[in-house]
Amino acid sequence: MIKSMTGFGSSEIEIAGYGKISVELRSTNHKFLEIVLHLPDGSLSLEERMKKIIELKIKRGRVTCGVNLSGKQAGDACINKTLLKKYIEKINGIKEEFKLKDNLELSTLINLPGVLTLGEKRVSPESLWSKLKTALNIAVNNLTQARIKEGSALQGYLKKQAEELKKRLSGIKEILKKSLKARLKAFATDEERAVFLKDTDTTEEIDRLSFHINNLKSKIIASGSVGKELDFIAQEMQREANTLAAKTFDVAVSAQVLKIKSLIEKIREQVQNVE
């Protein structure tokens, strides 16, 4: 079954004695596989391992992965004594200059900017990896399921369009069969009829278009990454439809070919999103 290139997947796992690690994956359409990672500070060494996990399940599309650590426990408290001393000197100088009698309270001093800082408890990338790996695998599986679900909807749409193309192409064959007989009667000589048949012969274009439609139908039920192949098929169908439009001599056929070209354009828009 085909997969869409758009989707979303996430997961969240508890880290004992630390907090939570959450992973969010979002994918959009792209010509190739492009992975963009947004990791916490100090985790860049895990990039390649994370990319390999994503590459196992995702073959095409732009995948953005965000990793967030929450519930960080505070480490040691730290008092900047040098800064605190400068604050006290400045405050005492102002008190003396303006003859102020307010006493300095510890609670006031502690709350001055930069005096008291709380260090965060950090987790090393290697100790983080086991949990991150699990969370990433879950998120990738969720993303894959979302892409499969949307791919199923795309598959249904493309099947419907392919059947409509086949129906209209069959209708064109019937119209041409009748109009060709009527048009040939208008010519006086066999030579004129021969020239007309040569200039307006669309057998090859119709046969090729029919082949591409059948190929499209077989590819949209195939497994694996077939998006590029579907795009190529749609381009070939469009080329044959343009040639068919240029050769046709019947107004009714021209109207049907315009509808076929419109259907092919819609197909091309949709296959851009297939992995």
3-state secondary structure of 102: coil
pTM of the model: 0.73
pLDDT of residue 74: 46
3-state secondary structure of 188: coil
- HSE value, Cβ hemisphere, 13 Å, CA-based, for 60: 19
Please check whether residue 272 is in contact with residue 1, taking contact to mean a CB–CB distance below 8 angstroms.
no
CATH topology of domain 7-72+125-146: Ribosomal Protein S5; domain 2 (3.30.230)
Intervals of the chain under pLDDT 50:
74
Supply the CATH classification number for the domain 152-271: 1.20.140
pLDDT of residue 149: 96
pLDDT of residue 89: 86
Q: How far apart are CA 153 and CA 160, in angstroms?
A: 11
Q: How far apart are CA 220 and CA 29, in angstroms?
A: 17
Residue type, 29: N
Q: How far apart are CA 49 and CA 40, in angstroms?
A: 15
Please name the residue that has the structure tokens 């929450």: 70
pLDDT of residue 55: 96
- The pLDDT tens digits of the residues spanning 103-128 come to 778 888 888 888 877 655 566 778 78
pLDDT of residue 267: 96
Helix axes 203-219, 125-184, angle to 10 degrees: 150
The residue extents of the domains of the chain are: 7-72+125-146, 74-120, 152-271
**C-alpha dist (Å) from residue 16 to 39, 40, 71, 148:** 20, 18, 11, 34
Could you tell me if residue 20 is left (phi over 0), alpha (psi between -120 and 50 degrees) or otherwise beta? beta
Residue type, 196: F
The distance from CA 75 to its chain's CA centroid, rounded to whole angstroms, is: 40
Please check whether residue 140 is in contact with residue 104, taking contact to mean a CB–CB distance below 8 angstroms.
no
- The pLDDT tens digits of the residues spanning 80-90 come to 888 888 888 88
Tokens of 85: 């001393």
Q: How far apart are CA 260 and CA 202, in angstroms?
A: 15
DSSP class of 20: E
DSSP string, 171-236: HHHHHHHHHHHHHHTT-SSHHHHHHHHHHH--HHHHHHHHHHHHHHHHHTTS-S--HHHHHHHHHH
Fold: same for 7-72+125-146 and 152-271: no
Residue type, 156: G
Output phi, psi for 227, to 5 deg.
Answer: -60, -45
Output phi, psi for 7, to 5 deg.
Answer: 175, 175
